[in-house]
Amino acid sequence: MELVNVLVFGLVNSAVLALTAMGFSLTFGLSGVANFAHGGLYLLAGYTSWILANRLNLPFAVSAVLAVILAALLGALIYRLVLMPVRGIVLSEVIATFAVGVAILELFRWMGFVTYEFNLRPFVKGSVEIAGVAVDYQRILIIGIGLVLAAGLWYFTRRTRIGLALRGMAQDEYTALSVGIESDWAAALSLALGAGLAAVAALSILPLGIISINIGYDVLLIALAVTVLGGLESTTGLVAGAFILGYAMTFTSTYLGPQWMEAVYMAAIVLVLAVKPSGLFGKSKELEERV
């Protein structure tokens, strides 16, 4: 019973982590930009959907679609306005996007989105019993969405022409130019796709609780943790990282006590990286192998 509980919710937690980090990982894999505005975009989508549904009384589905589109547009805009002038200076990219993310989050705080009333509707209500453990449909849906998106992402970057070209560009711009893709356009697209994925994640995960601003900061940390553990640019790594952390958390929480959850989580990252510095599935950038 307890084991079933751990297995089921470990899976749920892994899916939540994977979904949360997916947008960040995609953007990094396609354009090499570490988008530290990820958390800001995530919450932006959540709040936008809430405002549209509760203030303008739009149907939930419409509000969700609009929120995803808005996040994607903003992602592209961030590239155009903020990232393009500092393209290639990694530190400036990180700081600029981090500042954008914090600005988004704190703008919502200033506008008074700090109270406890921001609740997104789950896609489906109710729960079902799996081997004696009751799980709600929303969590099962999260697993499903996570799986579908991860598979889609893998297919997109490995099998489609445009995906391959985009990925090629992250390594070598000439290749991409020869396929006829303009570098800036592609990078903007990768930011937009990443932001869109962040929005999808927000709309499926946020209904589990209520929306609050500090979640935005946590989301960025989760995205970093998962992708670093798995290897920054790899979809397989993303899934592996999410599973390791998700189950590590659930196991720790059940058998060691929840207060150890984050300590174990952090220790796992530090340990993995100390042994395999570029993450589980990342391309190694160690000295020995560059010679």
Partner 1 sequence: MVKRGYRKERLDRGIKARSDDIFAIASWRETLYLILPRAAVIVSLLAFPLLKDVLGHYWQNVMLITCTIALLALSWDLLASVGLVSLGQALFFGVGAYLAGFLSRTFGWTPLLTIPASTVAGALLCTAILFPVLRLRGIYFGLITFALPLLMMRMIEATKILGGTEGLSGLPPLPDITFELYLVITAALVCAFGFKRLMDTDYGLVLRAIRDNDRSVLASGINIQWYKAQAVFIAALPGTFAGAFLTHHYQFVGMPAFALDFSILPLTSVVIGGAGTFAGAVLGAFILVPLSEVLRAFGTLRVVIYCSFLIIFTIGLPEGIFRFIERKYHQFERVVPLEEVRA
Partner 2 sequence: MKRLLLAARFIFLAAVLVIGAAACGGKDEKKAAPIVIGVPTALGSIEGADSLRAVQLAVEEINAKGGVSVKGEKRPLAVVSIDTREHEPGIPVTDALAAVDKLIAEKKPNAILVGAFRSEVLLSSMDLVAKHKIPYITTIAMTPDFQKKVKEDYNKYKYMFRMCLNAPYLVNYLSRTMGFVGKEFNFKKAYIIVQDVLWAKGTGSGLEKWLKDNGWEVVGFDAYPTGASDFSSSLGKAKAGGAQVIVPIFDMPQSGILLKQARAMKVPALMAGFISPAAPGSAWKTFEGEVEGLVNLLFEIGPMPVKAVPRSVQFHESYTKKYGQEMGAKLSGHGPGPSYDAVYVLAGAIEKAGTLEADALAAAIKATDMEGVIGRIKFSDDHQVVYDVNPKEAAIGAVFQWKAPGVRVPVFPETAAEGKIELPPYMKN
Binding site for partner 2 (CB under 8 A): 1-2, 5-6, 8-9, 12-13, 16, 85, 106, 109-110, 112, 114-119, 121, 127, 133-136, 138-139, 208-215, 217-218, 249-250, 253-254, 257-259, 261-262
Closer residue to partner 2, CB minimum distance, 153 or 201: 201
User: H helices of the chain, where?
Assistant: 2-31, 38-54, 60-78, 90-110, 137-159, 161-171, 173-179, 183-205, 214-230, 235-255, 261-275
Question: Using N-to-C axis directions, what is the helix angle for 60-78 and 183-205, rounded to 10°?
Answer: 150
Q: Which long-range contacts (CB under 8 A, 24 or more apart) does 165-170 make?
A: 166/30, 166/31, 166/190, 167/29, 167/30, 169/30, 169/31, 170/29, 170/30, 170/31, 170/32, 170/233
Q: Which does 175 bind (CB under 5 to 8 A by kind): partner 2, partner 1, none?
A: none
> Based on CB atoms, which residue is closest to partner 2, 10 or 282?
10
Q: Out of partner 1, partner 2, none, which partner does residue 181 contact, by CB within 5 to 8 A per kind?
A: none
Helix H or strand E segment including 136:
strand 133-136
- What is the amino acid identity at position 145? I
Indicate which of partner 2, partner 1, none lies near residue 51 (CB less than 5 to 8 Å, by partner kind). none
The one of partner 2, partner 1, none whose footprint includes residue 92, by CB under 5 to 8 A per kind, is partner 1
Maximum Cα–Cα distance across the chain:
61
Interface residues with partner 1 (CB under 8 A) are 34, 82, 85-86, 89-92, 95-96, 98-100, 102-103, 106-107, 109-110, 221, 224-225, 228, 232, 259-260, 262-263, 266-267, 269-270, 273-274, 277-279, 285-287, 290-291
Choose among partner 2, partner 1, none what residue 225 binds, the Cβ cut-off being 5 to 8 Å by kind: partner 1
